[in-house]
């Protein structure tokens, strides 16, 4: 029997042949052999985007107050993205990709596009409870 992928390294234990793999999912987190967390961050961004998409009817509705939109964003979308992030050892590039994704979502909540030339700090100011971008440190 073979467990794992078609990698060059493998270990034989009794009749089992266990192959080395580059990454695996354990308790909802992706673990990579090289110690990086790129796949984990991409997975969390995708999960956040799926939550965003399922809530977009509420978050983009002009009739719903911004205060309620902020609370929904913080308690559902942001929590989904940052779940288990306390165990991450991130690089600047990883944090930047999370901040980019968050800024894109906040711009949509505020009803502002990049073509409107509104600075990010102004968007954070208008969404008072969301004062700073996703920070992991």
- The structural domain count of the chain equals 2
- The model's confidence at residue 27, banded by pLDDT at 50, 70 and 90, is low
Domain that holds residue 29: 1-35
Shared domain check, 89 and 23: no
pLDDT tens-digit profile of 58-85?
Answer: 888 889 888 888 888 888 888 888 887 7
Shared domain check, 80 and 31: no
Region for 61 from its dihedrals, namely left if φ exceeds 0, alpha if ψ lies in -120 to 50, beta otherwise: beta
Read off the pTM: 0.63
Structure confidence at residue 124 (pLDDT):
67
pLDDT tens-digit profile of 94-103?
Answer: 888 888 888 8
- The model's confidence at residue 112, banded by pLDDT at 50, 70 and 90, is confident
Shared domain check, 111 and 90: yes
Contacts of residues 91-98 at CB distance under 8 Å and 24 or more positions apart, as own/partner, are 94/37, 94/38, 94/41, 95/134, 95/135, 95/136, 97/41, 97/45, 98/41, 98/44, 98/45, 98/133, 98/134, 98/136
Structure confidence at residue 54 (pLDDT):
92
Query: DSSP character for 78?
Result: I
């Amino acid at each position: 029997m073979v467990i794992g992928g078609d990698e060059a390294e493998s270990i034989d234990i009794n009749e089992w042949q266990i192959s080395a793999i580059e990454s695996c999912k354990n308790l909802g987190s992706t673990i990579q052999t090289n110690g990086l967390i790129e796949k984990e961050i991409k997975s969390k961004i995708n999960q956040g985007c799926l939550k965003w998409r399922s809530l977009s009817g509420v978050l983009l509705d002009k009739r719903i107050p911004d205060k309620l939109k902020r609370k929904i964003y913080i308690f559902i979308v942001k929590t989904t993205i940052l779940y288990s992030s306390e165990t991450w050892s991130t690089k600047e590039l990883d944090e930047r990709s999370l901040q980019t994704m968050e800024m894109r979502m906040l711009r949509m909540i505020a009803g502002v596009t990049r073509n409107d030339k509104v600075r990010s700090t102004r968007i954070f100011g208008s969404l008072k409870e969301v004062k700073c971008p996703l920070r992991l440190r």
